[in-house]
Amino acid sequence: MKQKFETRAIHAGCEPDSGTGAIMTPIFQTSTYVQESPGKHKGYDYSRTHNPTRTALEKNIASLEEGKYGLAFSSGMSAITAITHMLSAGDHIICSDDVYGGTFRLFDKVLKKFNLEFDFIDLTSLQSLERHIKNTTKLVWLESPSNPLLKLIDIEATARIAKNRGIVTVVDNTFATPFFQKPLKLGADIVMHSTTKYLNGHSDVIGGALVMNDQELYNKLQFLQNAAGGVPGPFDCFLVLRGIKTLAIRMERHAENALKIAQFLENHPKVRRVIYPGLSSHPQHELAKRQMTGFGGIVTFFIKGGLEAARKFLERVKVFSLAESLGGVESLIEHPAIMTHASLPKEVREKIGISDELIRVSVGIENVDDLIDDLKNALA
Ligand code: P1T
């Protein structure tokens, strides 16, 4: 019988050390490996290409996503960059209009210079996806739930449309994590992660990962991982592996706390609107129930009173920390328009709904009563 998620999170890729019996994967802090004879070695020749601590992490994340192959990177952005290195000048990419500001910035400010063409569209509409596909379209890029507006995209339907046209679908699964959503099983070709977030879970590492089933895609991406060199160090791999061991119980608590906070905010007179996929008021709550097994730990809401009210509120929280990032055990709160999504031009932000009243909450695993108390006091 195939092991369950919680068991694989702890054991996949992690064998006790053959030399010593050490139960924890050693941190192989080495750049190179001694060879018996030129080209004759134990599978490791140089740590940009392979490192045993990294191999353990890659196998572990692949197992959680129920994919065949995993690749680890030095950041979420370097994982994204590796995928874009598969493309050539003239290729066209369709990207969801609501993605992490850094992803938009890489596509819009860096890759357009290399003659890659982008359309940022509302991928909640499959008709819009069909309308924008061209002969040169090579990639469809999406986040679900998206950052920061928590839009849901029908992964199965999107991947089916793309696959029929020979287009690769990439899902950034950072917000949902494989505990709540498995894009490869829904038909996506590549799953991408900022391991900085829930997978590591303790706000002390920057990292990224890719998982896929297709061997040809894996060969290309592994070649690019080594050729471009955005690899994580062994210590960071160790920390992410350690974090993942508790992913399942952390995600359960994140989601339980997030739902209570979303319900509290939804009933607060100073709050205009709350977005959380687990609320029946979320426009895609039915899709969320179909394609996810839980709704995650991020809640966004619109505070009444414009930028002034948002600023005052964010200066007053005490248990929540005002900071970029998400997915750690501690609760974070931020203002997307000024912080994580400042790289989007104001017109674009306004068009898609990232207003000055929007606040994003990464609900941690503290006692939820303390969290609600903190929000209550700051709103008052
Ligand atoms: O920060 P890095 O590990 O390079 O990952 C980039 C990234 C990719 N995808 C998503 C969905 C993300 O949220 C991020 C990073 N996001 C933040 C720092 C943030 O506060 O939203």
Q: What is the pLDDT of residues 72-105, one digit of tens each?
A: 999 999 999 999 999 999 999 999 999 999 999 9
Average pLDDT over residues 145-166: 98
Cα torsion 232, 233, 236, 238 to 10°: value is 110
Distance CA 91, CA 331 (A): 40
Average pLDDT over residues 111-126: 97
By DSSP bridging, strand 298-303 and strand 271-275 are antiparallel
Distance CA 329, CA 21 (A): 31
Q: Which of 61, 103, 190, 194 to mutate to test the pocket of ligand 1 (most atoms within 8 A of CB)?
A: 194
Q: If we measure between CA atoms, which residue out of 84, 140, 131, 128 comes closest to residue 109?
A: 84
Residue 288's pLDDT is: 98
pLDDT tens-digit series, residues 291-350: 999 999 999 999 999 999 999 999 999 999 999 999 999 999 999 999 999 999 999 999
Nearest residue (CA) to ligand 1, atom 5: 76
Average pLDDT over residues 157-171: 98
Domain ranges, ordered by start, for the chain? 5-244, 248-379
Q: How far is CA 316 from CA 47, 138, 333, 379, in A?
A: 46, 46, 11, 8
Residue 363's pLDDT is: 98
pLDDT tens-digit series, residues 359-377: 999 999 999 999 999 999 9
Q: Is the per-residue pLDDT at 1 higher than 90?
A: no
Residue 344's pLDDT is: 93
Residue 292's pLDDT is: 98
Alpha helices in the chain (DSSP H): 5-11, 52-64, 76-84, 101-105, 126-132, 155-164, 177-180, 215-228, 234-244, 247-266, 285-291, 306-316, 346-352, 368-379
Domain range 5-244, CATH class? alpha beta
Q: Which of 196, 204, 334 to mutate to test the pocket of ligand 1 (most atoms within 8 A of CB)?
A: 196
Distance CA 205, CA 202 (A): 8
Catalytic residues: 48, 100, 172, 197
pTM for the whole structure: 0.98
Length of the chain: 380
Residue 82's pLDDT is: 98
Q: Count the alpha carbons within 13 Å of 129 in the hemisphere toward its beta carbon.
A: 25
Residue 223's pLDDT is: 98
Q: How many other CB atoms are there within 10 angstroms of residue 108's CB atom?
A: 16
Q: Mean of the per-residue pLDDT values for the chain?
A: 98
Q: If we measure between CA atoms, which residue out of 16, 14, 17, 9 comes closest to residue 55?
A: 14
SS3 of residue 172 by DSSP:
strand
Ligand 1 contacts CB of residue 343 (under 6 A): no
Ligand 1 contacts CB of residue 326 (under 6 A): yes
Ligand 1 contacts CB of residue 206 (under 6 A): yes
Domain range 248-379, CATH class? alpha beta
Average pLDDT over residues 148-163: 98
Q: How far is CA 139 from CA 93, 129, 142, 172, 372, in A?
A: 5, 12, 10, 13, 41
Average pLDDT over residues 110-121: 97
